[in-house]
Structure 1
């Protein structure tokens, strides 16, 4: 192990290298100083070039940090990741076909790091079949066409699978908290473990260079052995960054690292309006004892709604990054939590999800078709990717999708006296369409798997019926089905024989007088 500067570490990346990068979302264990040094070297010397960057989770602050730093023309040849929602420059480079971009399931890519480290041929999985990440449907390609996709369709014992060949990487850019004199690395101050160990093993086993950014150095024998996440012999270079923040937004949070519990005397209220209403209605799907996942967007409000109803302590909340229990954060800090019960390496969390251990998932949508297909990855000219969505939605026993019926300027109000929802101004664009741009959740296959699928909006609730078609089952008080629902979906609207009326109390609470 050698302690070097970030600039010196960046010189170990050569033209054409494959670089695996640890970290998650808004700065959670992201080796920002190493990424910044790589960017600076390229801007100063036009080297290295034609890199392949692999990171299971999106990295960035949705503006200038993280993977966005690697957007410069010529620096990258290809990116394989879960999502680029955090790195707008990468999305733009892909849209302009400057680079190859494959947005594949976060869980599959995380597990692939472990399989690659073990010298196995790759990852064989059913996750993604029937969606846009299915190799027969493009394999998750979002950028310049490629003749070397990162996955292929195979058949084993008569059943189809997605096969991701092992990743052969030359450099790993990782992050920990403390390094001791021998080079052992701990992660006690991090909000995320991810697959740092697997990435280090992967690169070490192929004779590459493992670089770890840490905040501090400890003396020999000072680290408790069971606290070491990356053993010394796997670590080649260490870069000390004493002021590395817990996340981009939060400079120092022992609570995010599980080192302290915080007293939650009061939770922030749900912001009044349709998002609060949707979160409260979605939370009605919770059942005591259920193991749940909360996605991004509107679904993040489900935890607050559950707390209001006294359900938060009766369910097990998890997130795909590896946390179990606690109160999840939102915004740029999403992926972190406080007062959690456990933090496990990300590949193992996805083993739970893929293996059927998830009872209920709360997710958002961008587009929905009459077949119950859902798109979140590419719409309106915007490239987003899927993150953990495909693993979560395919593995859960029941899925609750949340969103407004229309988008773009939608305004609603609640007439307390009449007990009726009013559409003050309709959204400019439909979200329930005849055909989604990209299939991220296959409604027909979900029906075949026996999943319960529910769609919650501010004015209506839909389910996928026994024929694998979307059917209207519930409407808000005061809503005219033809005028306010059927007229704003792009398919023939099926209705349940008896339509239920959404609970009026949800609206009274979500639209204060």
Structure 2
């Protein structure tokens, strides 16, 4: 990609300490017509001091003018902070953004046709920064097909004055794809924690890494100016090389933030060491949600969770799934993630959204979307504002409100399973629960419409791919089929005609009468979901490798509570091994296994009988020292080898030995 160096940086590379400038000096390098890229997620990683200085310069001098602004995630507080500082007519003339809901100042300009405006998927823009950095012409992706980003619909354009095509539909190797065109970027406004005098930047107190490196590289390689806001300075050579997230060779200006209020960790929290991974905080269980429409929806959605699943929770209504999972003691069996790069822990909400407490890892945003786009998510829980008969969902634009898609298109299109969540109608909640049945108010703005105003999710595309998609409300549940939306469940106390069908602009498919939603959802007490979801059918706990002659038995989370349970285990082993006519080796997983003390004798007697009849050698393992001791003593009393290993690797090794 041809480029020339920024004319005001003719002396680059700067000498040591020459990169340290004030915010006003830094933004003075921005020229009329420059393309500016900003990093941030809500308030995390956003260079607030630089945005304030840029706004002040424009209001005082009328310069710079006609900027193009490009950003991936929403960066604002829904009020005056973040990219709202740039919401002045004349300051920006083009905006390419992934999410618009937090920047009402830019929204107003877009809706009034005062600027050219595009909404592209957050993950695509994140990848586009990386591809621009590498000198590629743009980004090829399946993400966006069948949605408002598709050129056959709006091509991501948000108003009539926006005519330039940034998205092109192409066919490559017989596959239909979207090509998102790249463009040179002249200015980067980024943020870190510490910079040395050479401009190397670390992020030890930041909650996210985001796409700072990709943006800095893209701007540097186009001959632009890279400006980074930090909290503090360090001498050269004092930052550990692995801690440097933006190398100094890419950085032109370092601005030490003078006002701590302009360098909060998030737009709600000044600093939380658990968000940045510097400490692991005690995990206090959140207070149970009150029994309301939100909790009813979250409870029904939580039935879709699976042990060991990798999960994305969207902002708003889907956050309730995390609260329900906590109440039901399921969190330890899940890995929650959020699109800006957090893996594990407990994601935060509100203006802290994007951060997480006690994460397993914090990776950069382009890498997280590599994982998402490649199908890494087992399930995603997302909101819904409008739904139509073919299963299309709108969360991006309705009426005079422009929310934008954010990461919704990437996530909903590529997660293996999707659950959309929302109230059945848009209305203030006045429902009541009487004797476990709903009492619903009349009316409300319909959400199930003839055709969505903005297509953020393509039902037809998902159905053609065979993706499991479910739509959960407080009074009804729908599934996506190739023929469209099918009504599968209704809540107790709900009148099908009056409370559901009469409030829909279309008639859903009902090949069978809708079954009642689980009655536990509508009671004050916990539902016992952990026991249900962790209780795998016994037949699924046995796996025989006939070639190696090894029977794998997975008793993880199994509870043996009766003689019938013992008999069932014996019968399942007999069913699988008796027809072989030969002995096999066995490995048994006893992690989180539970057995009543009164049943230890009969259980181990059954185990001894199986060993005598079917096994040539057995190894067992569990991470629980208590269970190793308890079960080991009982086995020894039956003249069965009492040794139980601590890991599957040890058990396998000793089985072969």
Contact 1:411 1:426 in 2 (8 A): no
Matched, 1:494 2:509: yes
Contact 1:193 1:344 in 2 (8 A): yes
Which of structure 1's runs of 4+ aligned residues deviate more than 3 A? none
Matched, 1:379 2:379: no
Question: Secondary structure of the residue that 1:8 maps to in structure 2?
Answer: helix
Q: Which residue of 1 aligns with 2:338?
A: 319
Q: In the TM superposition, what is the alpha-carbon distance from 1:508 to its structure 2 partner?
A: 1.2
Give aligned pairs, total.
507
* 1:295-348 Cα deviation digits (max 9, x unpaired): 111001111111111211111111110100000111111111101100111011
Q: In structure 1, what is the Cα distance between the partners aligned to 2:70 and 2:231?
A: 24
Question: Secondary structure of the residue that 2:375 maps to in structure 1?
Answer: coil
Give 1:244-323 correspondences, 5 Å limit.
Answer: 244-323=263-342
Quick one: structure 1 residues 89 and 144, their matched pair in 2 at CA, closer, same or farther if it must change by over 3 Å? farther
Matched, 1:459 2:475: yes
1:405 to 420, 424, 448: 424
* 1:251-281 Cα deviation digits (max 9, x unpaired): 1111111111110233132243100111111
Q: Which residue of 1 aligns with 2:95?
A: 79
Contact 1:116 1:168 in 2 (8 A): yes
Q: Which residue of 1 aligns with 2:355?
A: 336
Question: Secondary structure of the residue that 1:163 maps to in structure 2?
Answer: strand
| Higher-helix-fraction structure | 2
Q: Which residue of 1 aligns with 2:147?
A: 131
Q: In structure 2, what is the Cα distance between the partners aligned to 1:46 and 1:473?
A: 59
Q: In the TM superposition, what is the alpha-carbon distance from 1:181 to its structure 2 partner?
A: 2.2
Q: In structure 2, what is the Cα distance between the partners aligned to 1:295 and 1:72?
A: 30
TM-score (norm 1): 0.97
Between 433-442 and 139-148, report the one with greater CA deviation. Answer: 139-148
Matched, 1:102 2:118: yes
Q: In structure 1, what is the Cα distance between the partners aligned to 2:525 and 2:448?
A: 24
Question: Secondary structure of the residue that 2:178 maps to in structure 1?
Answer: strand
Q: Which residue of 2 aligns with 1:10?
A: 27
Name the Cα RMSD after superposition.
Answer: 1.4
Q: In the TM superposition, what is the alpha-carbon distance from 1:496 to its structure 2 partner?
A: 4.2
The runs of 5 or more residues in structure 1 that have no matched partner are none
Q: Which residue of 2 aligns with 1:439?
A: 455
Matched, 1:353 2:372: yes
Q: In the TM superposition, what is the alpha-carbon distance from 1:400 to its structure 2 partner?
A: 0.2
1:169 to 185, 189, 193: 185
Q: Which residue of 2 aligns with 1:38?
A: 54
Q: Which has the larger radius of gyration?
A: 2
Question: Secondary structure of the residue that 2:283 maps to in structure 1?
Answer: coil
2:224 to 180, 184, 208: 208
Q: In structure 2, what is the Cα distance between the partners aligned to 1:322 and 1:429?
A: 36
Matched, 1:476 2:491: yes
Q: Which residue of 2 aligns with 1:154?
A: 170
Q: In structure 2, what is the Cα distance between the partners aligned to 1:370 and 1:51?
A: 41
Q: In structure 1, what is the Cα distance between the partners aligned to 2:403 and 2:35?
A: 22
* 1:108-156 Cα deviation digits (max 9, x unpaired): 0000000110111210011000110112211111134223232222221
Higher relative contact order (CA 8 A, sep 6+): 1
Contact 1:366 1:374 in 2 (8 A): yes
Quick one: structure 1 residues 4 and 413, their matched pair in 2 at CA, closer, same or farther if it must change by over 3 Å? same
* 1:194-223 Cα deviation digits (max 9, x unpaired): 110010000111111000000011122221
Q: In the TM superposition, what is the alpha-carbon distance from 1:452 to its structure 2 partner?
A: 0.3
Q: In structure 2, what is the Cα distance between the partners aligned to 1:197 and 1:455?
A: 38
Q: In structure 2, what is the Cα distance between the partners aligned to 1:22 and 1:53?
A: 11
Contact 2:157 2:163 in 1 (8 A): no
Q: Which residue of 1 aligns with 2:109?
A: 93
Contact 2:156 2:167 in 1 (8 A): no
